[in-house]
Structure 1
Amino acid sequence: MTRMFCTVLIGALLCGPVTAEPDVQRADIGGDSFVSGRLLDETLEAPGDAFLAGRTVRAHGRSNGDIHAAGFDVTVDAAATGDLYAAGAFVLVQSRVTEDLTASGFSVRTGNGSAIGGNARLFGRKVTIEGPIDGALLVTAQDVVLNAAVQGDVRIVAQSIAFGPEALVGGTLTYSAREPVTVPNRVAPEERVVFERLSASAARDRWRELRKEMPVLPAFASLVFGFIVSLLFFIALGALMLGFMPKRLSRMRRSIAAAPGQTLVLGVIGLSILFGLVPITGLTIIGLPFVPIVLLSIVVAWTLGYALGAYSVAMRVWTGFGGEEDPSRLTRLSVFAAAIVVVALLNFIPFVGWVANYTLVLLGLGAMTSALFHYMIGNPGDAFDIDLKPVDERS
């Protein structure tokens, strides 16, 4: 999965400067195709690898290399000569993949129209396998439904496991669960079925064993390493935002500088709405499965708000010391990186560091909340205070 996310990120960075802010951005580099946008419905004709990222991704056609797709709702029925990597909240694979498949999401499903020529690695809350797999299968999920033929070995780690009428395992079926499940003889004979009990205590014991085997870094070195990783993450995030949405980012930055107090209040409102969604979603009962998504949204919004707040304050300081109002992207990225370093150093000051970080989060969330309200309500334009009464009635 690391490889997929890195390649999608690189693709986004390369696509960013190509155009200003169209709904769909495309770039062809070295035979590889990069496509991004909110709603994608692409018919691929990629001579090499294909990279797709968006809120909703639909991929058709064919790629002569690997396919990398990431989004909230991802559907891939494009044939891949190489590997297929897919990640999202809801992932559906209907394509023929010559080599391996790696997919992760809240719900992951391989349809009966899919066919995997190599190995399949699937991770999610609910995973359903309906397409045949010529290689091995690895699944980690809460609920797993196997309803397809797998020629190689199968390894399943789940709380509940079910087998459909088309389920068949050619190799060894190894499954980890809290209790043994009934494996039909048509799926795999008893001598090729291995059960490993899954329990919290066993996982904790295994973790303790792994910690004993792993080398322990000095505390200072660990802090430095964590800081470097965090700095690189925020630099990559800043480059991505500056590449994809420079104008929108500039508008939100200026809104913070124009009305910091109002933006701070909007940040409190936006954060309250996000945290309030957790109990409200849970109280609907049917929304319980979506509570983890709401919690993930809070983490994402907090991170984006922190980055936007730090960037906005840093640019305000930059212009205050005589810097250009709209410098180059490289300069803005450097200013943002310097701000992240300064704010990180403030964390070593008790109380002050927390207040500074939390204020940045509220400023960033306030700008995002304001932009969202303007998008939902619309902009009625300028309002003019004009008295339409006759002249003799104004006195």
Structure 2
Amino acid sequence: MRHILQIAVVGLMLTGPVWAQNLNREHGGDTYAAGEAVTQTLSATGDVFAAGSVITTSGSASGDIHAAGFDININTETGQDLYAAGSSVTITAPVGEDVTAAGYSVRSTSTAEISGNLRFFGRNVTIEGPVSGAISAFGGTVHLNAPVEGDAWIVGESVTFGADARIDGTLILSAPDEISVPDSVIPAVRITREPFDQHRIMQEWNENWGGAEMPMLPVWLSMFSAFLISAIFLLVLAAIFFTFADDRVEKMRRRVTRQPLQTFLLGVIGLSALFGMVPVTALTIVGIPFVPFAIFAILVVWTLGYLLAAYAIARRVFVAFDGTDDPTIMVKLVLVGLAICAVAVLNFIPFVGWVVNYTLVLFGVGAMTAGLLSIWIPDPDPALEADLITPSDDV
């Protein structure tokens, strides 16, 4: 469930333009913050979920912190684990347990004391805060300038050590050149050197990741398990949007049923623009590091568009069978679940299943595109639009 919530928060971040204002709310003991720029002084008793272009936090949090964005600065004393993903990630405060961070530039400062394990993945990795557990550092350049009480696994094209670097356990080192490790960091007898072969490293990583023996399941049960996990994820995502952005969801849902042709065409335009981001970003050269973010944005928008359109069609059928025009959140979630099951069944029909799924995505992306354009280009005469709405439009 934790990983589902992490992905959901990233989805909230990437669909930030849907809201006219930032999100800042406590719910169920957890703290949620999302927006273009999130600056928060925390005093959280539970977990913290933050998403935005620029995230800067201070204060304290008793539980875990999950942060996703472009520029992330965590100056919050974290009681348990810290998870962060962004272009630039900087950690400047103590963490009670483990740290897992990924980005182009990932750094822990001298004030960021890590009580558990540290795992850094990035182009430029810098570790300056003391680590009580083990470290795993994978990057283009890796710089260690902190004491490590446990073992270390360092893989990088360039590896350097500062004056404060010390490894009390063992060191597994992979680098393309012969890296000189000072005796003050670790004696040579406790160093294991492995050849730097990126292809072999990734192959071993994949094999070890998927090499655990699992009970063999029948094919049908494996497929059902995969469907069940996907359905639960989509239902959790729908519940979050129904809770925090229900009005906006309803506006986009009505657009799908009121103006299907226009919404479909806007979906074609919106999805084309998203796919066009990838080559255009790569052609700028400086934007190459952001290509993965563009691809991830496509995946998130595709999923959200599919979910929105499936819900819109289910609501339309529900009203056609004398359902209420203002259902509760529980009824909405039931409709979403039924829609997911119906579309999943259609997937077993060759060609037709793909066409239905793709059409739903275009409808959903079209409604999201229209909502985004309505924020950037306000209606010059909203009264005229109101006059054109008839009671039947509420369906």
TM-score range, shorter-chain basis? 0.7 to 0.9
Shift of 1:133: 1.7
- Aligned AA (2:24): Q
Report the count of equivalent residues.
Answer: 372
Q: Secondary structure at the match of 1:96?
A: coil
Q: Deviations over 1:242-285 (max 9, x none)?
A: 11110000011111111111111111111111111111111111
Contact in 1 for aligned 2:4/2:233 (Cα 8 Å): no
What is residue 136 of structure 1 aligned with on the other side? Answer: 134
Q: Secondary structure at the match of 2:89?
A: strand
Instruction: Tell me whether 1:24 sits opposite 2:23 in the alignment.
Output: yes
What is residue 174 of structure 2 aligned with on the other side? Answer: 176
Instruction: Tell me whether 1:49 sits opposite 2:26 in the alignment.
Output: no
Worse-matched range after superposition: 330-339 or 84-93: 84-93
What is residue 387 of structure 2 aligned with on the other side? Answer: none
Q: Share of identical aligned residues, percent?
A: 40
Question: In the superposition, relative to structure 1, how do residues 206 and 113 fare at CA in structure 2: closer, same or farther (>3 Å)?
Answer: closer
Q: Which has the larger radius of gyration?
A: 1
Shift of 1:380: 2.2
Worse-matched range after superposition: 311-320 or 145-154: 145-154
1:1-395, aligned counterparts within 5 Å?
A: 3=2, 6=5, 23-27=22-26, 29=28, 32-38=29-35, 39-46=37-44, 48-55=45-52, 56-63=54-61, 65-72=62-69, 73-80=71-78, 82-89=79-86, 90-177=88-175, 180-199=178-197, 200-201=199-200, 204=203, 211=211, 213-382=213-382
Q: Deviations over 1:312-367 (max 9, x none)?
A: 11111211222122211110111011000000100000110000000000011111
- Aligned AA (1:49): G
Contact in 1 for aligned 2:142/2:160 (Cα 8 Å): yes
Contact in 1 for aligned 2:23/2:32 (Cα 8 Å): yes
Shift of 1:160: 4.2
Q: Secondary structure at the match of 2:33?
A: strand
Q: Deviations over 1:1-54 (max 9, x none)?
A: x746648969x99xxxxxx9963333265xx442323143222223x3341322
Contact in 1 for aligned 2:104/2:289 (Cα 8 Å): no
RMSD: 3.0
- Aligned AA (2:312): S
- Aligned AA (2:117): N
Shift of 1:139: 2.5
2: CA distance, partners of 1:162 / 1:53 = 32
Question: In the superposition, relative to structure 1, how do residues 162 and 367 fare at CA in structure 2: closer, same or farther (>3 Å)?
Answer: farther
Contact in 2 for aligned 1:264/1:363 (Cα 8 Å): yes
Question: In the superposition, relative to structure 1, how do residues 302 and 106 fare at CA in structure 2: closer, same or farther (>3 Å)?
Answer: farther
2: CA distance, partners of 1:61 / 1:212 = 40
Q: Secondary structure at the match of 2:105?
A: strand
Shift of 1:201: 4.4
**TM-score between the two structures when normalised by the length of structure 2:** 0.84
**TM-score between the two structures when normalised by the length of structure 1:** 0.84
Contact in 2 for aligned 1:8/1:53 (Cα 8 Å): no
Moved over 6 A (4+): 7-10
2: CA distance, partners of 1:273 / 1:206 = 35
Q: Secondary structure at the match of 1:95?
A: coil
Question: In the superposition, relative to structure 1, how do residues 232 and 96 fare at CA in structure 2: closer, same or farther (>3 Å)?
Answer: same
Alignment gaps of 5+ in structure 1: 14-19, 385-395
2: CA distance, partners of 1:381 / 1:183 = 70
Q: Secondary structure at the match of 1:309?
A: helix
